[in-house]
A and B are shown apart, each in its own frame.
Chain A
Amino acid sequence: MTRNGGKETDIQIAICGSAGDGTIAAGDILKRAMAKAGYKVIAFDVYPPEIRGFGKCISRVRVKSEQAFSLKPLSDVLISLDDSHAIPHVVEVKEFGAVIYEDTPVSMIPEGGHISGHLLSSHIPYGVPFRELSERVTSSARSRNITAVGYLAGLYGMPREVFYDVISDKFKTKPASLTRISIEAFDAAYVVGQDTFRLDEGFLNPPPNKARNGDLMMMSGNGAIARGCMDAGLDTFFGYPITPATTIMERLATELPAKGKRMLQTEDEISAISAAIGAAYAGARAATATSGPGFALMSEMMGLGVMAEVPVVIFVSQRGGPSTGMPTKTEQSDLNIAVFGSAGDGQRIVLAPTNVEGCYKCAGKAFEIAERYQTPVVVLLDLYLSNRYEAVELPANNPFKANCSKPTGKLKKNQPYHRFEITRDFISPRAIPGDKGFRHTVTGLEHDENGRPNDHVHQEMSHKRHEKLLPVARHPGITMSKRFGDKGKVDVAIIGWGSTFGEILEAMIAAREEGIRCAAMKVVLLSPLPLGPINALLGDARKVLVPELNYEGQFANLLTGATGRLVTKLNRVTGTPMHVQDILDEIRRLAGKKKGRQLAAE
């Protein structure tokens, strides 16, 4: 592989094509191969809501020696499988970066329709006969995407064996001939790439050779959720498909039955959560997954889960809203409905992982927490996190505990069982239907300790349902908030949640390198908020910045409401992840420094 003065590898490749070009598949092969080679990888695919043959697909893969927290706004390499879609993305290639494209199109191109006419002066063009290479080896142009990956791998000296493994694995359920010709197509283009004189400034040094404790796996956020569910012993899942949550259900539809457990696709989201609550009431570890519009339908049943103290887990992957909104675009605008959405004072627990590894942990821990605190737990994702891939190292031993419910103990003779007993920690011993001697009633009406409808105890029972949740911030084995960067007093504190935290972390690191005293905090527990560490950071900060992908500043409002501290909001609803540069510019402004563009001009 190419060496470049011992610098750390940090190269981002964007593959852009039309639906049906195999764009996402090419990105998938690339990211899995790079993870297999030992690099840290983060990847994100953007695809259209339409059917095959329409719309733009982009797969972005960032390959690093060390942990990557976010995608870069500018890629080092752009591969075009369809110039009409890729041309607008040429400006997203950095100076002296590479643009790789088809230079033997099958038919005439309209004037201005070829990507070579749109490159910036600093870009390095690599024209490659993808189609010819594919046809020469496979007698078909269908392997153009594989030749594109092969050329890239040869150009940068990537180890070809890992690609062989990934391609073989990808096509293992297809006829063996498909694997063979795919590898031949890859090889043919690899040689062309290897023989190309490279002029761009991207490079790939060998990956660091670090000892690992567990398995390093390439996983999407939704894949990690499914894996966390399985490791936590999920018994049953009910769902209704909706982008971008569907892949959780798809994965569980194959994995749960293989373990003798159940997945049922219901007729709608209301049925899904109702069934999940019913299963959880009956003692099963149960979950559902949806997106904003589906969660809006579930909100009534969320109230039942709170009132009836049923430990159910709901995964919500956010997309652009309101209403049908932007199904294939990312956003963080369902925080309010996740925290507040139901009738009455329906406080519940809301977790929001910030990366793929966090998805795994939050998924598994959500079941422990739901059982321990006997309430619905919402795990809040978004499309950017659900669909992005990272190389994650999962623990060698299963980190999740089975059955975390508060035990009932043995009843004395004629001692009645109070399902909703107000105890010192406000958590009631939980029996499930069928436990001998623990007969009880459950209702959505306000009820007394026995579960009998009673309006007169509403004050006490509301207090119980809220107070029992407060210790959740100390639940073992999960980080509910974490501070990074400078200790003590800082000029700027950046507080974030969900997928945006990766960009926040990169911006904070860049700001510190510029000499700005700053710290960043990720908040995983969004309800109830971990106010101790949050207030400690606010006390240290001259200015507080809250970047998030919604228009209203939902988390900023939540913070200000809970702490009384005014914060600076940074909001974007472009359907794409937050740009590191935008956050960095705002940090500089709050710290009294000039913006990046001004600094560059000077």
Chain B
Amino acid sequence: MSAENHIVIIGSGGAGSEAALTIRQRDPDCHITQITGSKLPFISRYELPQVFNGVSGWRELLAEPPEYYDKNQITVRRNSWVDHVDAKNKKVLLKHKEEVSYDKLLVASGGGGYLPEGLREFQPLMNGFGTYEQAVKVRQALPKKGHVIMLGGDMTGLDLARTLVAVGHRVSLVVGEQLFWPHEVTDDQRAKFVSVLEDMGIKVMIDKKVTAVKLGGRGKPARRVVFDGGGGIDGDVVMPFCGLMPSLNFMIGADVDIERGLLVNPELKTTNDSIWAAGDVCQIWSPEENSYLFYYGWHYIKEMGKIAAINMTGGKKKISTYQDDHLYINKQGEIDSPYWMYR
């Protein structure tokens, strides 16, 4: 494989996929390779709740059909994990001991579910919800009218909670610091939004500190969440929704500046001339705030992918560092925001 004019994108989520298409539109001849740990072509995580809503297979959830990638000559290396990036020699080393050369690299590896330190030891007893496989495992673990205990309360979790309640499951939300993450809400707003959740049929448990997650007792639901000071709650599935943590360990030592995310300028270029970043993995310099900030939301993530792609193919475009992220209650009485996506 020639490294000439080879653009490599680490990640096949919203930012990476948008970038791949934009690059192809702007440069029909370059070689595009996306590297992803997923076994499947891109499925938006926002579509995953549909697994509980009559979707029978992953093919129904694909953002694009498989032939889309062939048509656009985008090579997607699935089930491939990046070990590290050798920025000096412009190579990505994969965990299966294969090097992939690049001319330009876009890091769009997104973020994994964040788990507060106090919960980490109980991870094997909790279900994640970032992939199709994880979504199906939750569905399989839930009996009819099953009970889901959510810890935290970020917006991804609340989106799932709506679907679960709508299809007849019970949801109990043990509120954490991450309630409504990534939105920041005042105490008044918080009370108002919590009331909306309760109206939806979600049982909201405030001021409960989780100290353990255990297997359920004989004849009881499969899990028990134990609270500080005694007491607890039984459920069939326990799911943490505590926000995201950028997936960038493989970039350590790659000649780029990192704070919590990869630091990029408003053109989404890192401190390395050949490397850009987009999506949940990067912090963008905000002149208004005079600091590097994370930006979230489906529409914004896609926009980041697009702008990074434009700049990687000779453009010079800056992303707006202003984002309207206020939460509100829409006409249907649901919690909404300008950039969140609900069905």
Chain B residues with Cβ under 8 A from A514's Cβ? Answer: none
Q: A121 and B136 in contact (CB under 8 A), knowing A105-B97, A112-B1? A: no
Chain A residues with Cβ under 8 A from B76's Cβ? Answer: 121
Chain A residues with Cβ under 8 A from B94's Cβ? Answer: 114
Nearest-Cβ distance from residue A109 to partner chain B, whole angstroms: 4
Chain A residues with Cβ under 8 A from B139's Cβ? Answer: none
Q: Convert A179-199 into 0s and 1s, putting 1 for each residue whose CB lies closer than 8 angstroms to a CB of B.
A: 000000000000000000101
Question: Which one of A96, A111, A124 lies within 8 Å of B99 (CB-CB)?
Answer: A111
Interface of A is mostly: loop
Cross-chain contact B1 with A199 (CB below 8 angstroms): no
Chain A residues with Cβ under 8 A from B69's Cβ? Answer: 121
Cross-chain contact B96 with A121 (CB below 8 angstroms): no
Q: A116 and B70 in contact (CB under 8 A), knowing A111-B1, A124-B39? A: no
Question: Which one of B39, B66, B77, B79 lies within 8 Å of A120 (CB-CB)?
Answer: B66
A108 at the interface (CB under 8 A from B): yes
Alpha-carbon distance A126/B78, docked complex (angstroms): 10
Alpha-carbon distance A113/B77, docked complex (angstroms): 13
Q: Convert B41-83 into 0s and 1s, putting 1 for each residue whose CB lies closer than 8 angstroms to a CB of A.
A: 1000000000000000011000000111110000111111000
B40 at the interface (CB under 8 A from A): yes
Nearest-Cβ distance from residue A72 to partner chain B, whole angstroms: 20
Chain A residues with Cβ under 8 A from B33's Cβ? Answer: 117
Alpha-carbon distance A117/B78, docked complex (angstroms): 8
Interface size on B, residues (CB 8 A): 30
Least CB separation from B71: chain A residue: A121
B98 at the interface (CB under 8 A from A): yes
Q: Convert A354-382 into 0s and 1s, putting 1 for each residue whose CB lies closer than 8 angstroms to a CB of B.
A: 00000000000000000000000000000
Cross-chain contact B96 with A127 (CB below 8 angstroms): yes
Cross-chain contact A109 with B75 (CB below 8 angstroms): no
Cross-chain contact A103 with B96 (CB below 8 angstroms): yes
Alpha-carbon distance A95/B69, docked complex (angstroms): 14
Nearest-Cβ distance from residue A2 to partner chain B, whole angstroms: 14
Chain B residues with Cβ under 8 A from A112's Cβ? Answer: 1
Chain A residues with Cβ under 8 A from B39's Cβ? Answer: 124-126, 199
Cross-chain contact A199 with B97 (CB below 8 angstroms): no
A104 at the interface (CB under 8 A from B): yes
Nearest-Cβ distance from residue B36 to partner chain A, whole angstroms: 11
B192 at the interface (CB under 8 A from A): no
A119 at the interface (CB under 8 A from B): yes
Alpha-carbon distance A104/B41, docked complex (angstroms): 23
B101 at the interface (CB under 8 A from A): yes
Nearest-Cβ distance from residue A194 to partner chain B, whole angstroms: 14
Chain A residues with Cβ under 8 A from B210's Cβ? Answer: none
Chain B residues with Cβ under 8 A from A121's Cβ? Answer: 41, 66-70, 76
Least CB separation from B134: chain A residue: A197
Alpha-carbon distance A114/B33, docked complex (angstroms): 14
Cross-chain contact B98 with A117 (CB below 8 angstroms): yes
Chain B residues with Cβ under 8 A from A209's Cβ? Answer: none
B299 at the interface (CB under 8 A from A): no
Chain B residues with Cβ under 8 A from A104's Cβ? Answer: 96
Q: Convert A85-109 into 0s and 1s, putting 1 for each residue whose CB lies closer than 8 angstroms to a CB of B.
A: 0000000000110000001110111
Cross-chain contact A197 with B77 (CB below 8 angstroms): no
A122 at the interface (CB under 8 A from B): yes
Chain B residues with Cβ under 8 A from A199's Cβ? Answer: 39-40, 58, 132-133
Q: A116 and B77 in contact (CB under 8 A), knowing A109-B97, A111-B98, A124-B39? A: yes
Question: Which one of A95, A107, A126, A197 lies within 8 Å of B97 (CB-CB)?
Answer: A107
B137 at the interface (CB under 8 A from A): yes
Cross-chain contact A105 with B96 (CB below 8 angstroms): yes
Chain B residues with Cβ under 8 A from A117's Cβ? Answer: 1, 33, 75, 77, 80, 98
Q: Convert A120-162 into 0s and 1s, putting 1 for each residue whose CB lies closer than 8 angstroms to a CB of B.
A: 1110111100000000000000000000000000000000000
Cross-chain contact A108 with B137 (CB below 8 angstroms): no
B100 at the interface (CB under 8 A from A): yes
Question: Which one of A111, A122, A127 lies within 8 Å of B100 (CB-CB)?
Answer: A111
Chain A residues with Cβ under 8 A from B101's Cβ? Answer: 111
Q: A116 and B66 in contact (CB under 8 A), knowing A124-B39, A125-B39, A199-B58? A: no
Nearest-Cβ distance from residue B7 to partner chain A, whole angstroms: 15
Question: Which one of B79, B136, B137 lies within 8 Å of A127 (CB-CB)?
Answer: B79
Question: Which one of A95, A109, A119, A120 lies within 8 Å of B96 (CB-CB)?
Answer: A109
Least CB separation from B131: chain A residue: A197
Nearest-Cβ distance from residue A89 to partner chain B, whole angstroms: 18
Cross-chain contact A113 with B98 (CB below 8 angstroms): yes
Alpha-carbon distance A420/B137, docked complex (angstroms): 81
Chain A residues with Cβ under 8 A from B97's Cβ? Answer: 105, 107-109
User: Quick one: which of B1-52 are within 8 Å of A by CB?
Assistant: 1, 33, 39-41
Question: Which one of B58, B98, B136 lies within 8 Å of A109 (CB-CB)?
Answer: B98
Nearest-Cβ distance from residue A186 to partner chain B, whole angstroms: 23
Nearest-Cβ distance from residue A170 to partner chain B, whole angstroms: 30
Cross-chain contact A197 with B96 (CB below 8 angstroms): no
Cross-chain contact B79 with A125 (CB below 8 angstroms): yes
Least CB separation from A102: chain B residue: B96
Chain A residues with Cβ under 8 A from B1's Cβ? Answer: 111-112, 117
Q: A197 and B136 in contact (CB under 8 A), knowing A111-B1, A121-B66, A127-B96? A: yes
Nearest-Cβ distance from residue B336 to partner chain A, whole angstroms: 33
Nearest-Cβ distance from residue B138 to partner chain A, whole angstroms: 12
User: Quick one: which of A169-221 are within 8 Å of B by CB?
Assistant: 197, 199
Chain A residues with Cβ under 8 A from B137's Cβ? Answer: 197
Alpha-carbon distance A195/B265, docked complex (angstroms): 43
Cross-chain contact A120 with B75 (CB below 8 angstroms): no
Alpha-carbon distance A199/B75, docked complex (angstroms): 20
Cross-chain contact B78 with A95 (CB below 8 angstroms): no
Nearest-Cβ distance from residue A98 to partner chain B, whole angstroms: 10
Chain A residues with Cβ under 8 A from B80's Cβ? Answer: 116-117
Alpha-carbon distance A142/B172, docked complex (angstroms): 52
Nearest-Cβ distance from residue A95 to partner chain B, whole angstroms: 7
Nearest-Cβ distance from residue A16 to partner chain B, whole angstroms: 18
Chain A residues with Cβ under 8 A from B133's Cβ? Answer: 197, 199
Cross-chain contact A95 with B136 (CB below 8 angstroms): no
Question: Which one of A95, A114, A124, A125 lies within 8 Å of B98 (CB-CB)?
Answer: A114
Alpha-carbon distance A156/B300, docked complex (angstroms): 41
Alpha-carbon distance A478/B137, docked complex (angstroms): 55
Least CB separation from B93: chain A residue: A108
Alpha-carbon distance A125/B59, docked complex (angstroms): 15
Least CB separation from A129: chain B residue: B96
Cross-chain contact B79 with A126 (CB below 8 angstroms): yes
Least CB separation from A95: chain B residue: B66
Alpha-carbon distance A519/B96, docked complex (angstroms): 52
Cross-chain contact B78 with A120 (CB below 8 angstroms): no
Alpha-carbon distance A124/B69, docked complex (angstroms): 15
Chain B residues with Cβ under 8 A from A116's Cβ? Answer: 77-80, 96
Chain B residues with Cβ under 8 A from A122's Cβ? Answer: 66-67
Q: A125 and B70 in contact (CB under 8 A), knowing A104-B96, A108-B99, A111-B99? A: no
Q: Interface residues, chain B, CB within 8 Å of chain A? A: 1, 33, 39-41, 58-59, 66-70, 75-80, 94-101, 132-133, 136-137
8 A-B interface contacts by CB (under 8 A): A108-B97, A108-B99, A110-B98, A117-B75, A117-B98, A121-B66, A126-B39, A126-B79
- Given A108-B97, A111-B1, A121-B68, 11 other A-B contacts at CB below 8 A? A104-B96, A105-B96, A107-B97, A109-B98, A111-B99, A116-B77, A116-B78, A120-B66, A121-B67, A121-B76, A125-B78
The 8 closest A-B pairs by CB, nearest first: A121-B66, A122-B66, A125-B79, A121-B69, A112-B1, A197-B133, A109-B98, A114-B98
